[in-house]
Structure formats: structure tokens, C-alpha cells
Amino acid sequence: MSHNKKTIKTVFGVLSSKDKLIPGRAPSKRADGYISSEDRYLDWGYDSAKTVMEAHQRATHDKGPAKKESEDLKDGMLLTVFNTISKGDVAWSGVVNLEHKSRYRSYPMNPQYGQQEVFGMWVHGLQDGMDAKEWASMFFNNMPATLERDGKKIHGTLEPFFETGTEGVIWSLSEFGKSGYDGLNCLKKGDKLTVYSKVTDGDIAWQSDLSFETVKDGLKGVKMMGKDTFLGEKVDRLPKGISRPKWRDMFFKRQPIKIELKK
């Protein structure tokens, strides 16, 4: 690590994977900037704490796109990834108490039945006494949070969890360092939840001066599956000194980070 070099800038934020256009491919004509799976590859970036909070506020107040494009991670950055949260700026804190009456909408094809809705999604409950969009935006922007339940603290990322059979979003926290259902914690009444716009300290999951290397044949379109790959996504570069599964999972969780730029 570059301990003898001087830090010229420190940025706090969260990891964020991003789609990029494969060189030589024609850009999409779609207004939303969508890139088809045949024409894109997965790359590695981050959202600053300022970007995270701006995205939350814009979604809450219906002021346009959720967030600007993530910044690229680059060689030479000292990257620290946190696995717990011990210090940071709090965006919201309270006791979970979901009510099930506000923003009730009838189902278009079955109007005698209905459910609560926010941002065009059916949901299971909304926080009592809180603006529905403000509550939902914290989850759809995957903000870092700490859940306190039965005397235990669980650190992770807010997740608007849904799958076939849930019939709508279940407000949840996905625990850092655990995958799939093992890390899924669906919120329930009485949980203490603290949501952060910026995490500045915690236990370290990984720390290193970034040095990327090119993945051989990474953009040729071979669809790879399995625990050591990226679920079929093409990748062009990976950092040295960390396993593929750990790197991938930290991005899927949008774990909080500190970046130090040195010279």
C-alpha cells in the first residue's frame, strides 16, 4: 500500500457496478440509455456519498433521473471497503412500524382487490408517519444501514426485495458478507433501523491500492456461469489481490467505501 504517499483527496461512498458499451459497437438509440446484453460489459465504479443523497432526494421529490453515472475506479486509488458501520452521517433513524392503508390502489385487471403502491411498484406496507416516497427511495437507492433486532446489530444494504410469489416488495436489509437468502433480513415491526447517507468508519472487508489487469477474452461474449464468474456478464478488467466471488459480492451489496487519492 502507498503509505509513504500523501493523500490529496478522500471520497466516501458506495461501490457501484456499471454497464459500458463494448468498443466498436453502435450505441443504443433508446432514450433511457439501455445497452443490450450483447453490446455491454460490466465495469467497476462508485457513487460518492453526495451522489447517493442527491439520488435519494430527487426520487423523493419526483425531480428526474435517480442518479448520475457512477465514477470509475482507477489504478492507484487506495480503496477501503467496510463490512460494518461504526460511524457516519445518518439520513434516517427510527423504529419500523409499517401501516397497510395509505396509497392503496386497485389492481387494474382485478379492481375488487388491491394493494399499496409507490414508484409504480406494489409494496407490503409503508412506514407510519413518514412520506412514502422518502421511505421507498432509501431502499430503491440501496442505502447502507444498520438493523438492530433482539440485541444484535446487522449491517448491510437496504433492499426492496421481491421475487415470484412475494406479490410485491418486501422491505429488507441484505447483510454484508452473506449471499442470497443467508443475508436477507425482512424488516418487521419493532426493528430499530438506522440509514446512512455516508459511512466513514467500520470493520474493513478489504483494503488495497487498486491495480487492474485485463481479463483474457473477457469481451468475446462467452456466457460464463457459476460462483467464480459474474453470472453471465462480460468483464474487461479485474483488480489484483482479491478473489472474483468476493469482488463480485461487494458490488452486488453496494458496500460502503473510502477512496484515497495519493501522490
- Same domain for 190 and 208? no
Residues of the chain with pLDDT under 50: 65, 222-228
Find all residues with CB under 8 Å of 217, minimum gap 6, and list them. none
> Is the same domain home to 123 and 59?
no
Spatial distance between the Cα atoms of 241 and 2, rounded to a whole number of angstroms? 15
Of 199, 226, 245, the residue that ends a domain is 199
pLDDT in tens, 197-234: 999 999 999 999 999 998 876 666 544 444 445 656 78
Instruction: Clarify whether residues 253 and 215 are in a common domain.
Output: yes
Boundary-marking domain end, from 199, 220, 248: 199
* Total number of domains in the chain: 2
In the block, residue with C-alpha cell 425482512:
186
Q: Any idea which residue has 448520475 for its cell?
A: 68
Residue 189, pLDDT score: 97
Instruction: Looking at the structure, tell me whether residues 93 and 195 fall in a common domain.
Output: yes
Task: Note if the pTM is more than 0.85.
Answer: yes
| Distance, CA of 242 to CA of 185 (rounded, Å) | 27
- Residue in 198, 176, 14 with CA at minimum distance from that of residue 90: 198
- For residues 73 and 44, the answer to whether their CB atoms sit within 8 Å is yes
Structural domain contains residue 1? no
How many Cα atoms occupy the beta-carbon half-sphere of 152 within 13 Å? Answer: 5
In whole angstroms, what is the distance from residue 18 CA to residue 233 CA? Answer: 11
Residue after which a domain boundary falls, among 147, 169, 199: 199
The strand pair at 144-149 and 192-201 is best described as antiparallel
Angle at the Cα of 92 from the Cα atoms of 98 and 174, rounded to 5 degrees:
70
Task: Write down the pLDDT at residue 225.
Answer: 40
**Host domain of residue 195:** 87-199
Long-range contacts of 61-69 (CB under 8 A, 24+ apart): 61/133, 62/133, 66/140, 66/141, 67/141, 69/18, 69/45
